[in-house]
Amino acid sequence: MSTDFIIGFARGAIEITLLLSLPLLLVGMVVGLIVSIFQSVTQIQEMTLSFVPKIIAVFLALLVFGPWMLNRLLSYCEHVITNLPQYIR
């Protein structure tokens, strides 16, 4: 195993991690921003108002993006397992 291979392998793992977490993080950020604007406009400072909508939105995003995320993760794992004999050399 060369240094280039290890760096490429780590880069692929980081890329798939970022790609899988991006939709959920974006949904949480957008809903958090909307709730924050709503709280500042109405001057309601309730703690559960900021957490509950984000949790629900991330859960719904997980239901929507879950099959796509699982498909990407399975294809990455299949690629790693298929090429395992080449990695051992």
Answer yes or no: is pLDDT of 5 > 90.
Answer: no
The stretch 16-23 carries a mean pLDDT of 96
Q: What is the pLDDT of residue 15?
A: 96
What length does the chain have?
89
Secondary structure element (H or E) that encloses residue 51, with its range: helix 47-82
pLDDT digits (tens, 9 = 90+) for 22-74: 999 999 999 999 999 998 898 888 878 888 999 999 999 999 999 999 999 99
Q: What is the pLDDT of residue 20?
A: 96
Instruction: Say if pTM beats, i.e. exceeds, 0.95.
Output: no
Q: What is the pLDDT of residue 65?
A: 96
Q: Are 29 and 57 in contact (CB under 8 A)?
A: no
Q: What is the pLDDT of residue 16?
A: 96
